[in-house]
Amino acid sequence: MIKMSRRYFSAVMALGLLGSALPAQAEKFTVAVVPDTQNYSDASLPQPRGADTYARQIQYIVDQQAARNIVFTSFVGDIVQHGDGQFRKKAPGGAEGHYQYWDTRAEWDVANRAVSILSRSSIPFGMVPGNHDYDNYSWWSGENSPGAGRPLSGGRVWNLYFGPESRHFAGKKWYGGSFNQGLNSYQYFTGGGKKFLHLSLEMDPNQKALDWAQTVIDANPGLPVIVTTHEWLSPAPVAQKDKRPSGYDAYFKGADNLSPDEIWDRFIRKNTGIFMILSGHHWTSTENGVSQGENLRIDKNDAGYPVYQILQDYQGNTIGADGTPGSDNGGAGWTRFMEFDTDSKKIKFTTYSPVLNRYAGKNGEKTFGIDPKLSDFELPFPPQIMK
């Protein structure tokens, strides 16, 4: 995957030098990306440690609004850990058959409090559900289980907390609308005097969701588009060269959900304005507090324009402020920032943790054990935003 990315990178560099019209106003503006937050809200992990990290991460984004000129924030999904009500785990030191039970409303409340920090600000934002956020995500079988394993479906709780009528989005001028219990939605933001469209698509959306998304794009001709969806890329060390990963058959077995490759062929590549896809979901097992959950892939759409596809998932990173593995609930506040510079016509990608007060990938450091250029890199403005 890295080899593929570099091959396309050279071609895209040339595209970025096209003498197209500049955005209406020269400035730098930033889009923040919040990776999987499920371990912060997990009721079975140490609390309020995770909740505090969650809140601190979001507060940092708000505090940096002016300094970084943050114009939008995207959540890539898995907002909570256990989406479907009650769950259990074996009690520590307990005999066989002894369990601790948790009510996952506590997890939704942790997430709601953190997101509220952002929704009280003036920063527009979008949220997508991950597999952990659906109503019927079954976590065990047997006694007191919620039932046999079922395909993921249902957004009743998602809609209650993060749907269009929630306090986060109701009445916001930048919130365009939604589909299927708020599992899909769209937003607008402006940077450099240019208006952008952001599409928040549910995990492995089906054709009906894509048809809805197409009507949104058709109603906004000419706007550059960023798509956020939960599953899209594997981490660089385990990525297949050609196929994008897909767990849709396991998560949505028997349903009509589509794989990322099918979504690319049916929807992404046909829409000229889509220039970026943001995702989470995939990461590697934690070793000494470090996990690998980054990747970059660039493919050309049917118009010959590049589409930047970017993975960021830091949930397996557990090194907290004291520098020891396991001292954070998972994620350590790592956040992706994408700075658009309308003067140099480049997008600067950085990865920062307000918990650790540290940037990843600086000075050649393999912060996550992989190529530091996946944590700290630049890409040229694609033609989609040069028009």
> Picking from 13-17, 53-57, 227-231, which range would have the lowest pLDDT averaged per residue?
13-17
Residue 17 has pLDDT above 50, yes or no: no
Mean pLDDT of all residues in 23-45: 88
Which residues partner with 70 through β-bridges?
30
Give yes or no for a contact between 291 and 190, defined as CB atoms under 8 angstroms apart: no
Rounded Cα–Cα distance for residues 188 and 223 (Å) = 10
> Picking from 169-183, 228-242, 284-298, 322-336, which range would have the lowest pLDDT averaged per residue?
228-242
Q: How confident is the model at residue 59 (pLDDT cuts 50, 70, 90)?
A: very high
Position with higher pLDDT, 148 vs 74: 74
Residue 20 has pLDDT above 60, yes or no: no
For residue 7, the model assigns a pLDDT of 38
Cα angle: 364, vertex 366, 372; to 5 degrees: 60
Rounded Cα–Cα distance for residues 37 and 108 (Å) = 11
Give yes or no for a contact between 72 and 224, defined as CB atoms under 8 angstroms apart: no
- pTM score: 0.90
- For the chain, percent of residues with pLDDT exceeding 70: 86
Q: What is the pLDDT of residues 220-279, one digit of tens each?
A: 999 999 999 999 999 988 876 677 887 777 788 888 999 999 999 999 999 999 999 999
> Picking from 33-42, 87-96, 166-175, 234-243, which range would have the lowest pLDDT averaged per residue?
87-96
Structure tokens at 114: 């953190």
- Residue 72's closest CA among 180, 189, 206? 189
Q: Which CATH number describes the domain made up of 2-385? A: 3.60.21.10
Residue 143 has pLDDT above 60, yes or no: no
Helix (H) or strand (E) holding 186: strand 184-191
Per-domain boundaries in the chain: 2-385
Q: How confident is the model at residue 135 (pLDDT cuts 50, 70, 90)?
A: confident
Q: What's the chain's average pLDDT? A: 89
Structure tokens at 239: 């990525």
For residue 228, the model assigns a pLDDT of 98
- For the chain, percent of residues with pLDDT exceeding 90: 75
Contacts of 86 by beta carbon, 8 Å cutoff, 6+ apart: 101, 102, 103, 104, 146
DSSP 315-368: TT----TTS-TTSSSSSTT-EEEEEEETTTTEEEEEEEETTTTEESSGGG--TT
Q: What are phi and psi of 379, to 5 degrees?
A: -135, 145
Rounded Cα–Cα distance for residues 315 and 326 (Å) = 12
